[in-house]
């Protein structure tokens, strides 16, 4: 990992920490950190349906697993290894802020909701009709930032490359997304993932600037289209992006500006008012 990448990730983690540390209800915690990959009684997404989880495994095991999935997998636990296999090899991330008390509260909530006819956590519904060429076009514009995200999130291309979008490759902070439609399990599963991203960087960027359904659908169309091409973003377009170092730096600054904009403005405002007060 390059030093710049480490720095940016560190900044993003610092930004997300205070909110995680705040007292939060299990319900709210679940909405923000778990619905990207799980339903309760709505079938599997990237991860298994949790209604089944509470039927199959005892409390102690589940509590341990959700607090440190990787440790359980590394211990060679056969049940966990089977779960990972069923999830296409994807490992559940360790969630910052998931204390032992929160783990208990989450499992209480999951158990209670598993007994309801409708848990209210059955996954987002992304409409079924096939993607159209116009969806792909709209999605490409969203990905590239030619069409602004309604909640003000930064364009995907500042951190991601995509094989079907050539030319100016895209940023390298995030992974290449050419095959992400397959990797994260297709329409329903990737749609849910995008509606509440729960990985470190994506969550800190989009938590307060969530992607809307009318934006997720065309993005899914783009990812479905690109997953049919076997090549990830070609390396020459990535090199071209690097050669445009200046543009990269500007983009980086713009991104930092975007992240810090509220704070800088407030700081400046108070500086200005105190200066005015001083002058009066």
Alpha-carbon distance 263 to 230, whole Å?
A: 43
Spell out, one character per residue from 44 to 73, where the chain touches ligand HEC: x when CB under 6 A holds, - when not: --xxx-x-xx--xx----x--xx--x----
Provide the sign of the torsion angle of the four alpha carbons 182, 185, 187, 190, taken in this order. Answer: negative
Phi and psi angles of residue 239, each rounded to the nearest 5 degrees, phi first: -65, -40
CB of 181 to ligand HEC, least distance (A): 9
Which of 104/240 has CB closer to ligand HEC?
104
Distance CA 86, CA 106 (A): 23
Kindly tell me which of 44 and 271 has the beta carbon lying closer to ligand HEC: 44
Kindly state the smallest distance separating residue 276's Cβ from ligand HEC, in Å.
36
Q: At which residue do the structure tokens 């900044």 appear?
A: 11
* Residue 91 interacting with ligand HEC (CB under 6 A): yes
b/e sequence 75-103, b meaning 16+ C-beta within 10 Å: eebeebeebbeebeeeebeebeebeeebb
For ligand HEC, the closer of residues 76 and 278 by Cβ is 76
Angstrom distance (rounded) from CA 1 to CA 173 = 9
Looking at 30-38, 161-169, 230-238, 271-279, which segment touches ligand HEC (CB under 6 A)?
30-38
Residue 234 C-beta: closest distance to ligand HEC, Å: 18
| Residue of 13, 98, 105, 137 that binds ligand HEC (CB under 6 A) | 98
Residue whose entry in the numeric block shows the structure tokens 């598993």: 114
203-242 residues near ligand HEC, rule: CB under 6 A = 205, 211, 219
Stretch in the footprint of ligand HEC (CB under 6 A) among 124-132, 169-177, 262-270, 272-280: 169-177
- Within 8 A by CB and 6+ apart from 54, the residues are 62, 107, 110, 111, 114
CB of 3 to ligand HEC, least distance (A): 15
| Residue 151 and residue 211 in contact, taking contact as beta carbons nearer than 8 Å | yes
Pick 55 or 273: Cβ nearer ligand HEC:
55
Using CA atoms, how far apart are residues 47 and 13, in angstroms rounded to an integer?
24
Q: What angle do CA 68, 69, 74 make, to 5 degrees?
A: 105
Q: Check if the beta carbon of residue 39 is closer than 8 Å to that of residue 122.
A: yes
Tokens 């089944």 sit on residue: 52
In whole angstroms, how close is the CB of 235 to ligand HEC at the nearest point?
Answer: 18
For position 173 contacting ligand HEC by CB under 6 A, the verdict is yes
- Our CB check for ligand HEC shows the closer of 81 and 244 to be 81
Q: Of 6 and 116, which has the nearer Cβ to ligand HEC?
A: 6
Is residue 36 at the binding interface for ligand HEC, with CB under 6 A as the rule? yes
Q: Contact positions toward ligand HEC, by CB under 6 A? A: 33-34, 36-38, 46-48, 50, 52-53, 56-57, 62, 65-66, 69, 83-84, 87, 90-93, 95, 98, 106, 153-154, 156, 158-160, 173-175, 177, 180, 183, 194, 198-202, 205, 211, 219
């Amino acid at each position: 990992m390059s030093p710049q990448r480490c720095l940016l990730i560190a900044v993003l983690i610092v930004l997300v920490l205070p909110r995680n540390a705040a007292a939060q209800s299990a319900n709210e915690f679940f909405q923000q950190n778990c619905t990207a990959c799980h339903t309760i009684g709505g079938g599997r997404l990237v991860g298994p349906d949790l209604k089944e989880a509470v039927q199959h495994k005892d409390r102690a095991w589940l509590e341990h697993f959700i607090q440190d999935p990787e440790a359980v997998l590394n211990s060679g636990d056969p049940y966990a290894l089977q779960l990972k296999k069923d999830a296409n090899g994807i490992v559940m991330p360790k969630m910052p802020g998931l204390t032992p008390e929160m783990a208990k509260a989450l499992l209480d909530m999951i158990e209670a909701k598993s007994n309801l006819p409708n848990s209210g956590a059955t996954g987002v519904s992304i409409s079924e009709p096939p993607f159209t060429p116009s969806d792909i076009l709209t999605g490409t514009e969203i990905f590239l930032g030619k069409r602004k995200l309604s909640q003000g999130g930064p364009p995907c291309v500042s951190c991601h490359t995509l094989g079907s979008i050539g030319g100016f490759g895209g940023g390298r902070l995030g992974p290449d997304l050419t095959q992400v439609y397959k990797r994260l399990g297709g329409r329903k599963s990737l749609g849910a993932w995008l509606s509440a991203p729960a990985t470190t960087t994506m969550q800190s960027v989009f938590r307060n600037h969530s992607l809307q359904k009318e934006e997720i659908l065309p993005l899914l169309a783009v990812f479905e289209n690109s997953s049919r091409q076997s090549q990830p973003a070609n390396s020459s377009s990535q090199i071209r992006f690097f050669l445009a170092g200046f543009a990269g730096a500007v983009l980086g600054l713009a991104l930092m500006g975007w992240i810090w904009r509220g704070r800088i403005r407030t700081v400046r405002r108070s500086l200005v008012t105190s200066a005015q007060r001083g002058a009066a």
